[in-house]
Structure 1
Amino acid sequence: MSRLIRLLISYDGSGYHGWQRQHNGITVQEVVEEQLAVICRHPVALHGAGRTDAGVHALGMVAHFQTSTSIPVQAFSRGLNSMLPRDIRILAAQTEQPDFHSRFSALGKTYRYDFFCGEVQLPMSRKYCAHYPGAFESERIQPAIEALIGSHDFASFERSGSRDPSRTGGRGAVRTLYQLSCTPQLGRPEHWSIRVSGDGFLRQMVRIIAGTLIQIGCSRREPDSMAAVIAARDRTAAGMTAPACGLYLEKIYYHHLFDH
């Protein structure tokens, strides 16, 4: 009898060309699928809740697959962790209902963006935290945060060419942000985290939001400019795309938004 298995996956994205399998480089999906095929003794198609770009990290990626093997569900986490490289860990495995889908059943996601504003960044943090040396004033970005929260057309914050603009079905570039904050990291001077929760995100949307907010905090953009950026629906109106190294997929929500 076929079973649907759900995995909770954490990975260091530094050495991968993102989550989704592709032809030009090794990906997290590919590596996990190969080891699942060994355990299950049949080819496995692993479906993730979304895709992360090259260099992006995940604390809580969710993925599912179908299998006819009868091995205990706990064996998938223990077995995979004994076979996978150390930069990919299976945090949990569970049997799901047949209608569960990692992507389409999700109600929302939380991402975190980490950056450092000190003069000299430690070498060992360069793959996990973006570096913007100089003064950063979090008070300057509060008007921009307030403008971003809610339902908007976020076309200004979407990677150019990542979506066919001629498509009229679905919701286009409209997304809803429920929570957005920028806070200092406890005990780490000049280290900051931007955290954003919403019902969905466009390609590179979080990195472009982070880049634009950082530019405002560094006095390279005006604090009250965000409403005009949103209204423009034009990628050139927003700020820089922040580097992938600072981005973490923290959590995906299925039963209640922002449940714990």
Structure 2
Amino acid sequence: MNVKILLEYDGTAYSGWQRQKNAPSIQEVLERAIGFITGEKIHVVGSGRTDAGVHALGQVANFKTNTRIPIEKLPYAINSKLPKDIVVKHAQVVSEDFHARFWAKAKIYTYTIYNDKFPSPLLRKYSYFFPKPLDVKAMEKAAQMLIGIHDFKAFMASGSQVKSTVRHIHRLEVLRSGDVVKLVFEANGFLYNMVRIIAGTLLDVGTGKKDAAETLSIIKSKDRTQAGKTLAPQGLCLVKVIY
């Protein structure tokens, strides 16, 4: 049977989702745990490859198994063999052709910036610390220009070999609550480091280093050097995969 699972994890200790030769990955740990309880060689397919240090509230994956463990008990069985920073929240049997990556229609990510004079020890693993004042209104203005169908090549890190750099951002919000500025992204797909580069660009707008009006020219340039820096991974979280 084909099993779809919903995952939450703290990515701090991992090299990312994808299995690596010399570093621990979410995929490797998950496959080992499921393999242990089923007695099978398991291959887990994720909806996407989160990078080292990136977290997830709603990662989705699927795997094939012949286990006789009841589906409602499967999360408990898997979790008993997982470290405390990875948890399976739900499992269900899906059609044999379901594919966590190829069937995904959209994803929602958040990027969290802790904006205060002093860092927060409690939030340091889950946010990017930035001590300078931010103009959230200007950031919102720039964010609105990124919504829609665009060629986001200027916001893609090198090392990716995608066929097309065109993506559709459905939603991009800049939300402030106290000392926390949260960027909410919803799109049909994301390029390599796209969210973190857009976050870096919006940060430049928030400090006045860039004008919000420059956003469209950055998109049109298709030039990575025109956009902001790639912000650190710990502020990024995969919130939901939409099918």
TM (norm. structure 1) is: 0.91
Q: Does 1:216 align with 2:195?
A: no
Give the Cα–Cα distance (whole angstroms) in 2 for the partners of residues 218 and 7 of structure 1. Answer: 41
Give the Cα–Cα distance (whole angstroms) in 1 for the partners of residues 179 and 6 of structure 2. Answer: 32
* Aligned-pair CA distance for 1:68: 1.3
Provide the secondary structure at the position in 2 that maps to 1:99: coil
Report the residue type matching 1:248 in the other structure. Answer: C
Identity of aligned residues (%): 40
Give the Cα–Cα distance (whole angstroms) in 2 for the partners of residues 144 and 193 of structure 1. Answer: 15
- Of 29, 32, 47, which aligns to 1:31? 29
192-201 or 76-85: which moved more?
Answer: 76-85
Matched with 1:111 is: 109
Q: Show the 5 A alignment for 1:112-127.
A: 112-127=110-125
* Aligned-pair CA distance for 1:111: 0.2
Give the Cα–Cα distance (whole angstroms) in 1 for the partners of residues 214 and 179 of structure 2. Answer: 25
Give the Cα–Cα distance (whole angstroms) in 1 for the partners of residues 241 and 193 of structure 2. Answer: 17
* Aligned-pair CA distance for 1:81: 1.4
Provide the secondary structure at the position in 2 that maps to 1:242: coil
CA RMSD of aligned residues (A): 1.0
Matched with 1:238 is: 227
Matched with 1:6 is: 4
Matched with 2:190 is: 201
75-84 or 87-96: which moved more?
Answer: 75-84
Give the Cα–Cα distance (whole angstroms) in 2 for the partners of residues 75 and 41 of structure 1. Answer: 16
* Aligned-pair CA distance for 1:113: 0.4
Which consecutive unaligned segments of at least 5 residues does structure 1 have?
165-169, 255-260
Matched with 2:41 is: 43
* Aligned-pair CA distance for 1:28: 0.5
Matched with 1:227 is: 216
Provide the secondary structure at the position in 1 that maps to 2:122: helix
Report the residue type matching 1:9 in the other structure. Answer: L
* Aligned-pair CA distance for 1:24: 2.8
Matched with 1:258 is: none
Q: Deviations over 1:67-87 (max 9, x none)?
A: 112221122201111111110
* Aligned-pair CA distance for 1:107: 0.5
| Superposed structure 1 runs of 4+ greater than 4 Å apart | none
Report the residue type matching 2:29 in the other structure. Answer: V
Report the residue type matching 2:16 in the other structure. Answer: G
Report the residue type matching 1:173 in the other structure. Answer: T
* Aligned-pair CA distance for 1:4: 0.1
Matched with 1:257 is: none
Report the residue type matching 1:178 in the other structure. Answer: H
* Aligned-pair CA distance for 1:249: 0.2
Give the Cα–Cα distance (whole angstroms) in 2 for the partners of residues 35 and 24 of structure 1. Answer: 19
Matched with 2:238 is: 249
Report the residue type matching 1:179 in the other structure. Answer: R
Give the Cα–Cα distance (whole angstroms) in 2 for the partners of residues 215 and 132 of structure 1. Answer: 11
Matched with 2:167 is: 175
* Aligned-pair CA distance for 1:118: 0.5
Report the residue type matching 1:160 in the other structure. Answer: S
Which consecutive unaligned segments of at least 5 residues does structure 2 have?
none
